[in-house]
């Protein structure tokens, strides 16, 4: 099958281009060069939030190479801070594709600085983007992912709480708090959604060399030691999706 191309949320033509869905229950256990894995993702509809980002763009490319039909969503399509944005993104995906088999939430913002100087605007944006938006997305996606499981597929959710969820950092207190809240939600969701056949994978990499820290919504990034290679982080996450892993703590990225 010809790999499906990226689609905008608003202008979907994948169904008319005949992308079929045939992802069986997980069968692949390894990912050397992705050989032999392609059929696992053929036609799997994966909603990618943060598709313009350093990690989201790479995961999109890698999933598409495996045959997934990735629906790339960026801030231009909907803003995670909008209360009704997640419902619209999921509804548009279902309207255009008829199903949902994966949700990757690779969007986020960071702010740096001491506790006494963080602004109300930054606190609000950190929690709206990193916590509330992802929670609403998971809520909206859950019935459709459960339907995917009921149809015999292997639906998944990927979140990015990051290493700060496990080890909150000085100078990143509000960001750490927003991510720790997301991690708590995903941990509960992992347990709750298991019975519906939905796998929730929370990725907690350490500092990674994307543009995230170079465009904080407030403050200036400290000088970090060299971070992780974003290609390697993306590949590790895709491998975890394929292999049916259930958690991705920071140690999995070192
Ligand atoms: N890089 C790291 O060191 C690191 C480590 C651990 C965890 N993480 C987490 O991993 C995720 C991806 O990070 P990244 O490194 O790929 O960052 P990135 O390159 O800065 O990409 C961030 C993405 O989030 C999107 N976004 C930001 N605010 C949004 C909003 N209000 N509504 C919709 N989309 C929004 C951006 O869209 P636009 O392009 O339109 O702005 C972009 O696609 C984030 O949640 C981040 O916190 C990153």
Q: Is residue 13 part of a domain?
A: no
What is the position in ligand 1's atom list of the atom closest to the CA of 55?
16
DSSP H or E segment with residue 173: helix 173-194
pLDDT of residue 254: 86
The total number of structural domains that make up the chain: 1
Residue 33 in domain = no
**Structural domain includes residue 123:** yes
pLDDT at residue 227 in the model = 96
Q: For residues 15 and 150, give the distance between their C-alpha atoms in angstroms, rounded to a whole number.
A: 21
Give residue 212 CA to ligand 1 midpoint distance, Å.
6
Kindly report the CATH number assigned to the domain that includes residue 190.
3.40.50.720
Chain-centroid distance, C-alpha 250: 16
User: What's the order of all strands across the beta sheet hosting 156-160?
Assistant: 69-73, 45-49, 102-105, 156-160, 199-203
The predicted model gives 20-42 an average pLDDT of 42
Residue 208 contacts residue 231 (beta carbons within 8 Å): no
User: Does 25 score more than 70 pLDDT?
Assistant: no
Give domain status of residue 82, yes or no. yes
Please give the distance, rounded to the nearest whole angstrom, from the Cα atom of residue 51 to the centre of ligand 1: 9
Q: How far is the CA of 106 from the centre of ligand 1 (A)?
A: 6
Residue 148 lies in a domain: yes
Q: 194 is in which domain, residue-wise?
A: 47-167+177-253
Which residue's alpha carbon is nearest to atom 47 within ligand 1? 108
- Residue 84 counted as domain residue: yes
Above pLDDT 90, what percent of the chain?
80
Reported as a single tens digit per residue, the pLDDT across 103-136 is 999 999 999 999 999 999 999 999 999 999 999 9
In a domain, 136, yes or no: yes
Give CA–CA dist 8/72, Å, rounded.
6
């Amino acid at each position: 099958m010809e790999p499906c191309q990226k689609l905008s949320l608003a202008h979907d033509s994948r169904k008319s281009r005949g992308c079929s869905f045939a992802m069986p229950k997980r069968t692949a256990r390894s990912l050397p060069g992705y050989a032999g894995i392609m059929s696992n993702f053929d036609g799997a509809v994966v909603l990618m939030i943060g598709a313009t980002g350093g990690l989201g763009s790479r995961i999109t490319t890698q999933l598409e190479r495996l045959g997934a039909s990735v629906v790339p969503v960026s801030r231009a399509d909907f803003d995670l801070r909008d209360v009704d944005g997640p419902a619209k993104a999921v509804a548009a995906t279902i309207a255009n594709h008829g199903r949902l088999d994966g949700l990757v939430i690779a969007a986020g913002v960071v702010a740096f600085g001491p506790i006494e100087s963080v602004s109300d605007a930054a606190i609000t944006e950190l929690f709206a983007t990193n916590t509330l938006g992802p929670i609403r997305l998971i809520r909206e996606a859950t019935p459709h992912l459960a339907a995917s499981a009921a149809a015999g597929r292997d639906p998944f959710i990927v979140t990015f709480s990051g290493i700060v969820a496990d080890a909150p950092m000085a100078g990143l207190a509000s960001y750490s708090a927003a991510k720790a809240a997301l991690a708590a939600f995903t941990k509960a969701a992992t347990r709750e959604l298991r019975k519906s056949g939905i796998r929730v994978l929370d990725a907690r990499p350490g500092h990674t060399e994307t543009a995230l820290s170079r465009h904080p919504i407030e403050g200036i990034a400290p000088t970090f030691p060299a971070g992780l290679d974003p290609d390697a982080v993306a590949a590790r996450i895709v491998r975890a999706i394929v292999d049916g892993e259930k958690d991705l703590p920071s140690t999995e990225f070192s």
